[in-house]
Amino acid sequence: MARKKKKWLKSIQKFKFGKIFVKKGHLQVGRVLIALCLLLIVVSRASDLLHYQPRQNVDVSKLPMNQLTKKQFIQRIAPEAQDIQTQTGIRASISIAQAGLESDWGQSTLAYKYNNFFGVKASAGMQSISLSTSEYEDNKWVKVKAPFRVYSSWQASMEDHADLLLRGTTDNPNRYARVVSGENVEEAAQALVDGGYATDPNYAKKLIEIINMYNLTQYDH
C-alpha cells in the first residue's frame, strides 16, 4: 500500500507544478486545498462572464411616471413647469415640489392611473374617481373618501393646477393669489396653506424641504 502511495506521489511530481504539492514524498494537503479553492473561484467567475448580458440602455423619456426616480421625475416635468411659469408667473419650483409631494413622485394611484398629480378635487359634472385620502381634522389624521379629477395626461393636470391657482375658486377667486405674488418660495408655499389647498399643517414646510433638497429654484426664472 505504501509503495502504491509513493508511486502516486511520484506521478504527481512529474507534472510541471507537481513539486508544489509534493515535498519530500509527502502530499502538501494545505496547498492542495488552497489550489482547489482558487480553481473554484476561477470557474465561478468564468461562469458569471459566460452568462453576463450587458444592461440595455433604457430610454427614460418613454418610461411611465411611476417608474422614474425622483430626479428623473423632476427632469420630466421641469420643462412643463417652466412653460407654466412663463405663462402665469407661478414658480416652477412650487409646481414641481407640489407635484412630487401630492403624487408621491408619480407613485400614487391617483397619479399613475388617473394623471392627477396635484390631488385636485372634482366638482359636479367633472370626470372623477372616488378614492380614499387622508385629511387633518381636529388635530388628527382621518381617512375619507373624496372625488378627484381625472385627466387625459400629466400635462393636462399641471395646466389645470396652474389655472386653479390663478383663478381661485368660485367662492374666492383670490384664494391663491399670493402663490403668484409672493416675494419668495416660502411665501408662495405658505399661501397654499393659507388658501386651504391642503389640511396638513406642515404642508408648506414639506414643500420647502423638497425645494431645498433638490435645488428646485434652479428651474425658476
Report how far apart, in Å, the C-alpha atoms of 200 and of each of 131, 134, 182 are.
Answer: 18, 9, 20
132 neighbors 143 (Cβ within 8 angstroms): yes
Does residue 102 carry a catalytic annotation?
Answer: no
Domains and CATH numbers, the chain: 2-51 (no CATH), 71-219 (1.10.530.10)
Residue 211 · residue 217 · CB < 8 Å: yes
Residue 167 has phi, psi (to 5 degrees) of -95, -15
Cell of 182: 409672493
Task: Catalytic residue, from 83, 104, 159, 160: name it.
Answer: 160
Q: Are 188 and 203 in contact (CB under 8 A)?
A: no
Report residue 168 CA to chain centroid gap. 31
pTM greater than 0.75: no
Any long-range contacts for 28-36 (C-beta under 8 Å, 24+ apart)? none
Q: List per-residue pLDDT tens for the chain, 221 residues long.
A: 555 555 555 555 555 555 555 555 555 566 656 766 676 776 667 655 555 444 455 677 789 999 999 999 999 999 999 999 999 999 999 999 999 999 999 999 999 999 999 999 998 889 999 998 888 887 788 888 999 999 999 999 999 999 999 999 999 999 999 999 999 999 999 999 999 999 999 999 999 999 999 999 999 99
- What single-letter amino acid sits at 176? Y
Q: What is the end-to-end Cα distance of the chain in Å, rounded?
A: 91
Known active-site residue 209:
no
